[in-house]
Amino acid sequence: MRARRSAEHGFTPISRSAEHGFTLVELMVVVVVIALAASVAMFAMPDPRGRLADEAARFSLRARAAHDAAIVEGRAVSLWITPAGYGFDRRVEGTWLPMADKPLRVTRWNDGTLARIDGATGGRLRVTFDPTGLADRPAQLVLSRGQARAVIDMAADGSVRVAG
């Protein structure tokens, strides 16, 4: 019968540092790997403000909805644009009243978005759609954020196109 190896039978355990924890080099390698993974995840995450192209598309769809509302309601609907945002009004008994419908209420541009309005007077442009859907003037809006840029063209026939 074999004797068990223990301190009682003449065996003294050898103290090894690897059995008591990790070395400093191993910990540093783990920290570097975690830092690299975090940086890759951060750069892969989308911008919380959304893409500029999506913001331009959202604006153009709302402008088109205002155009359609003018035709359906048989009354003038206007779209006003400022460097801070945009909104919609409808003509009721000779007065412009703000539209409170969800897609057509006042909307601010996302943080960091700059709006340049060609043809604006006093920093504000109003495009009015008559009951037939025609706009009172053509207009161009340029949205930019960082290196991204989107150009929105509104034609006199009421059509809205996004480029870039």
Pairing, β 139-145 against β 125-129: unpaired
Per-residue CA distances from 126 to 13, 30, 77, 117 (Å): 87, 59, 10, 10
Q: Decide if 106 contacts 142 (C-beta within 8 A).
A: no
- Supply the pTM of this predicted model: 0.68
- For the stretch 58-69, pLDDT in tens is 999 999 999 999
pLDDT exceeds 60 at position 136: yes
Under DSSP, is residue 54 helix (H, G, I), strand (E, B) or coil? helix
- For the stretch 8-25, pLDDT in tens is 666 565 555 556 778 888
Q: How far is 58 from 139, CA to CA, in rounded Å? A: 17
Mean pLDDT of the chain: 84
